[in-house]
């Protein structure tokens, strides 16, 4: 039975990746950091089948200890301070976890067993103020947030370990991916939860920032399959993963509100508080390399993603 170790197991992607790896017959070791309340909501249904170890990307010793104990053949580094606005409030912490944390984990892998296959969760946020449309593996980066800057470090240190130490270190440059398990502060879930609350009479309006920002949004369940495929290739490489389509926050609102027979213009309030010091205006992927090399295709359309998220929030809120 192959063993995979996943940091960020309690996050959106961690939960979908754990499900996928279990289905494929892996023993799954999930790294969770200590907190004063339980953060296992997304993996509650998996707790009998996975092993949770306590660790933190700040702490080199914990990373070494569980690699030595569980001897994984694959390591997926999904842990990060992943919310872009927080990266302006806590830039040093974001750099410590999202950038230097990658080096700590790569160092632990190199020390314990350099043949472990390593996946780094890189991000389309690195393209920032885009210099090419659409964005592909060779598009130069121009990050617009401390988070984007930190992810660039993580991307390049992964490539550097691949080239310096001949390690199987892969960087997946993933565009935005969403699901009913998305954190409530990210715009898609904020909208699906907000519209469901309005429909059920629990809220009167929804405060958002820039409605004109455009993103390439896909379904998280599809994207974890791409992560796994990257580690099954003959050679380590970097891949862009996205749908190749872009939609605005406004379009997301139109579909989400329209699906519940509501007009978003009557409920959405544009609020200065949710604007960013520097915005990423347009992201759209060119995923041809991943499609050709990994035979990867997204399976959920933009409209189906929106309605899936609204349906899920309606059902959850109705249950009370
Ligand atoms: P998420 O839901 O925010 O999950 C982040 C995970 O990282 C959580 O499990 C969190 O633990 C953990 N974490 C945070 N700080 C940590 C630390 N110091 N030590 C150990 N664990 C820590 O993010 P996601 O959407 O699943 O994304 C997964 C990864 O892909 C992230 O690296 C993100 O930056 C990257 N990414 C995401 C997208 C996207 O659209 N979702 C696109 C490109 C790249 P707690 O539960 O304790 O907070
Ligand atoms: N969060 C949020 N809240 N975003 C809003 C709001 C709001 O009220 N109103 C408008 N937006 C706009 C933001 O300005 C941004 O342009 C867009 O919606 C998407 O914001 P988020 O959903 O917070 O995601 P993100 O694109 O900044 O970052 C996500 O995707 C990256 C990949 O490109 C995160 O998952 C990152 O971790 C990931 O790397």
> What is the full DSSP assignment across 231-250?
HTSSS--EEEE--S--EEHH
Q: Does 290 reside within a domain?
A: no
| Residues 272 and 135 placed together within one structural domain of the fold | no
Ligand 1 centroid to 121 CA: how many Å? Answer: 9
Q: Does 295 reside within a domain?
A: no
Nearest CA residue ID for atom 12, ligand 2:
210
Ligand 1 centroid to 199 CA: how many Å? Answer: 30
| Residues 28 and 146 placed together within one structural domain of the fold | yes
147 is catalytic: yes
| Residues 82 and 17 placed together within one structural domain of the fold | yes
123 is catalytic: yes
Residue 320 has a pLDDT of 85
Mean pLDDT of the chain: 98
d(CA 172, CA 15): 18
Nearest CA residue ID for atom 36, ligand 2:
82
Domain with 257, as residue range(s), is 184-216+246-283+300-319
**Ligand number, closest to the Cα atom of 42:** 1
d(CA 217, CA 309): 13
Q: Does 210 reside within a domain?
A: yes
Nearest CA residue ID for atom 18, ligand 2:
187
| Residues 115 and 207 placed together within one structural domain of the fold | no
Please report the atom of ligand 2 found closest to the CA of residue 84.
Answer: 27
Residue 44 has a pLDDT of 98
Give the residues across from 33 on adjacent strands: none
Q: How many domains does the chain have?
A: 2
Residue 27 has a pLDDT of 98
Give the helix ranges, DSSP H, for the chain.
12-23, 60-70, 84-89, 91-94, 101-112, 146-165, 187-199, 220-231, 249-259, 288-294, 302-319
Q: Does 157 reside within a domain?
A: yes
| Residues 170 and 198 placed together within one structural domain of the fold | no
My answer on whether omega of the bond before 115 falls inside 30° of 0, hence cis, is no
Q: Does 289 reside within a domain?
A: no
Q: Show the low-confidence residues of the chain (pLDDT under 70).
A: none
| Residues 151 and 202 placed together within one structural domain of the fold | no
Ligand 1 neighbour 10 (Cβ under 6 A): yes
**Residue found by looking up tokens 């192959």 in the block:** 2
Overall pTM > 0.75: yes
| Residues 8 and 80 placed together within one structural domain of the fold | yes
Residue 187 has a pLDDT of 99
d(CA 213, CA 173): 19
């Amino acid at each position: 039975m192959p063993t995979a170790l996943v940091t960020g197991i309690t996050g959106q992607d961690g939960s979908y990746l754990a499900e996928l790896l279990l289905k494929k017959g892996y023993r799954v070791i999930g790294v969770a950091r200590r907190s004063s309340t339980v953060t296992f909501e997304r993996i509650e249904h998996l707790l009998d089948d996975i092993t949770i170890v306590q660790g933190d990307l700040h702490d080199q010793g914990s990373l070494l200890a569980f690699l030595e104990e569980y001897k994984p053949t694959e390591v997926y580094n999904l842990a990060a301070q992943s919310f872009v606005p927080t990266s302006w409030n806590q830039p040093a912490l974001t750099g410590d976890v999202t950038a230097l944390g990658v080096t700590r984990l790569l160092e632990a892998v190199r020390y314990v067993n350099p043949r472990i296959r390593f996946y780094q969760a890189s991000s389309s946020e690195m393209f920032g103020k885009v210099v090419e449309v659409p964005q592909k593996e060779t598009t130069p980066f121009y990050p617009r947030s401390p988070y984007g800057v930190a992810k660039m470090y993580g991307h390049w240190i992964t490539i550097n370990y691949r080239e310096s130490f001949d390690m199987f270190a892969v960087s997946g440059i993933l565009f935005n991916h969403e699901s009913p398990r998305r954190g409530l502060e990210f715009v898609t879930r904020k909208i699906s939860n907000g519209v469901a609350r309005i429909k059920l009479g629990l809220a009167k309006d929804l405060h958002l920032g820039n409605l004109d920002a455009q993103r390439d949004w896909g379904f998280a369940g599809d994207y974890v399959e791409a992560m796994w495929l990257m580690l099954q290739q003959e050679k380590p490489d970097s891949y862009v993963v996205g749908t190749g389509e872009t939609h605005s926050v406004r379009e997301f609102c139109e579909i989400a509100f329209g699906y519940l027979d509501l007009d978003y213009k009557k409920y959405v309030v544009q609020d200065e508080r949710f604007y960013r010091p520097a915005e990423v205006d347009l992201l759209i992927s060119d995923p041809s390399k991943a499609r050709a090399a990994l035979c990867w295709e997204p399976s959920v359309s933009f409209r189906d993603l929106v309605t899936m998220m609204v349906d899920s929030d309606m059902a959850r809120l109705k249950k009370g």
